[in-house]
Amino acid sequence: MSTNEFCEAVRAAIADELEAARTYMNLSQIAPHTAIHARIMCFAAEERRHARQLSCLCPEMEPEDGMDPDGWNWPSKTMENDDLLESTWIPEPPMPPGCPGEPQPPFPPSEDFARGVAMAIEGEVHAIGEYAELAMMAPNPRARELILCIQKDEMYHKISFEFIQSVIMWNGQEEDD
């Protein structure tokens, strides 16, 4: 494995990270609740951080425009107006579908948001595989460790999007047996 091949794979991973950050920023704008909006904005910030971290693996790599943090709407600013901590929009903890007295979801998702979440899950699955391959190509243990840390973040994003999907797709109706 040559350094050039590794750096080309890193460039592709950076492009994927920046595209994911743009996608998540757009997806967050149509989120049906401020808590979901803030969570997806955090994922967008993490994707941008991943791109910056990856750019350090190849010394000749120039930072991409999308990696510049200036003008970024950081999640902490978004969360200042988050009413999740003070709200009572869920009267009691959610119960599994089919339980008597189950609460209804507090928000109706748009079709675009549901489709965007499904695409985000697919993208995260792709990223997990991409980082497994990239880790095998790593020229040293420190690079491999960084790549595997990023892969772990991607796994967390996937699980979180699956949770968001389960919440927005749950309509509180019993399934037919």
pLDDT per residue as tens digits for the range 15-46: 999 999 999 999 999 998 888 999 999 999 99
Residue 163 lies in a domain: yes
Residue 142 lies in a domain: yes
pLDDT band for position 90 (cuts 50, 70, 90): very low
Residue 24 lies in a domain: yes
Q: Is the pLDDT of residue 140 over 70?
A: yes
CATH number at residue 118: 1.20.1260.10
Q: Is the pLDDT of residue 83 over 70?
A: no
128 vs 169 pLDDT, higher one: 128
Residue 8 lies in a domain: yes
Contacts 24+ apart (CB under 8 A), 40-47: 41/73, 41/74, 41/75, 41/78, 42/75, 43/157, 43/160, 44/20, 45/21, 45/72, 45/74, 45/75, 46/153, 46/157, 47/17, 47/18, 47/20, 47/21
Q: What is the C-alpha separation between 65 and 15, in angstroms, rounded?
A: 11
Residue 20 lies in a domain: yes
Q: How many domains does the chain have?
A: 1
Q: Which among 53, 64, 59, 56 is positioned nearest to 19, based on CA atoms?
A: 64
Residue 93 lies in a domain: no
Residue 90 lies in a domain: no
Q: What is the pLDDT of residue 111?
A: 84
The percent of residues above 90 in pLDDT, for the chain, comes to 54
Alpha carbon separation from 154 to 23, 34, 46, 131 (Å, rounded): 15, 22, 9, 9
Q: What are 103's two structure tokens?
A: 């609460």
Residue 26 lies in a domain: yes
Domain that holds residue 21: 3-80+107-169
